[in-house]
Amino acid sequence: MLTKMDSTKNDRIHLVLADGTAFPGEPYGARGTTVGEAVFTTTMTGYQEVLTDPSYKGQLVTMTAPEIGNVGVNALDAESVDGRPHVAGFILRDASPIASNWRSEQTLDAYLAEHGVVAISGVDTRKLTRHLRDHGSQNAAIGPEPIEELARKAREAPDMSGLDLVKLVTPKEPYTFAESSGAWGMGGATGAKPPKHHVVAIDYGVKKNILRCLVDAGCKVTVVPATTSAADVLALSPDGIFLSNGPGDPAAVGYAVETLKGLLGKKPIFGICLGHQLLALALGGKTYKLKFGHRGANQPVKDLATGRIEITTQNHGFCVDLTSLPSNAVSTHVHLNDGTSEGLAVKELAAFSVQYHPEAAAGPHDSLYLFDRFTAAMDQR
């Protein structure tokens, strides 16, 4: 027993925030040291979707749900088009010792190790989450080095503000996407509508289930890199243009903003998450960094046109400044916890966007109607 206790103690590692606050834990997944922005998500399910969401690029993600790993991982639930995880690191309270699910193909521990994702388990995630809520998201480091060395690495890491991470997750070449949600969709195996509209989706770090929802709504989808010019997008003769989610500071992705300026008013436009922020910037608005962001599958949003409350999935650290929007841009949705921007629309440009994720993988499906709203806008054109 003494030997086992000594071995466990020697194998302990730390998560250390840039402000010097340290959290002990045990190594999980890949061994080594990693640095990124420490954030938390309040989602209760869908840890694999979190791991593979490209919007989490550069971040050390804390799961507030206490037990993680109990259903293993499988290839179908990956949200990245390439199927790989994108988080910089993973922070857990209790790592389940078993994976028990008929769809499981691999344990979470083995999956993280295979893909080189450094993780830490046994962390007091309640204390960590409260600290991040009180003091704000900040850079951190996970590893076996002394606490002072990890704190130094965290302090020296680039700040998320001003960071263009889209260039790390956008594809190098255009591609077509024709996979529907199938039996897992809300409409079942026959839920996808026949292709009617050609949509060009600009990929800033798109989630696969967003593309599936576009296919389900009756769209032929061509995906293009974030660096694609407005002229090249229009040369594909789209009926509509979709702006995807993605990581980093929207204000740092100037090339994407310039492209959108050349697309406004040419075709119906629908944006999600980073796409919402980039649309606001292209309209002349501004964005700013939230204290600790909105991440989770239980975020309440109010539709200002109908008064309807939607429970939504979200993952963002930056937000549109509502006071900066031009007069022709209408705020359509707000977050009920803090009143921040969750949607906008410009009727004469046939452009609209939301900050949250209507494809909700994982999460509630209150907002799936937005994909039909996009196809209706293309019908009108």
121: nearest Cα among 44, 66, 52:
66
HSE on the CB side for 47, CA within 13 Å? 26
| Beta carbons within 8 Å of 174's beta carbon, 6+ residues apart | 222, 223, 224, 225, 228
- Is beta strand 197-203 parallel, antiparallel or unpaired with respect to 138-143? unpaired
Asked whether 221 and 353 are in contact (CB, 8 A), the reply is no
- State the DSSP string of 125-189: HHHHHHHHHHH--EEEEEESS-HHHHHHHHHHSPPSTT---HHHHS-SS-EEE----GGGSTTGG
Q: Point out the residues that are catalytic.
A: 273, 357, 359
What's the gap between Cα 229 and its chain centre? 24
Asked whether 320 and 344 are in contact (CB, 8 A), the reply is yes
CA atoms of 276 and 254, how far apart (whole Å): 14
DSSP code, position 320: E
Using CA atoms, how far residue 119 sits from 64, 94, 105, 133, in Å, is: 15, 12, 20, 21
349: nearest Cα among 303, 381, 301, 371:
381
3-class DSSP assignment, residue 119: strand
Q: Position 2: which residue type? A: L
Would you give the end-to-end CA distance of the chain in angstroms? 73
Asked whether 354 and 272 are in contact (CB, 8 A), the reply is yes
CA atoms of 381 and 375, how far apart (whole Å): 10
Using CA atoms, how far residue 237 sits from 127, 220, 255, 266, in Å, is: 52, 12, 21, 11
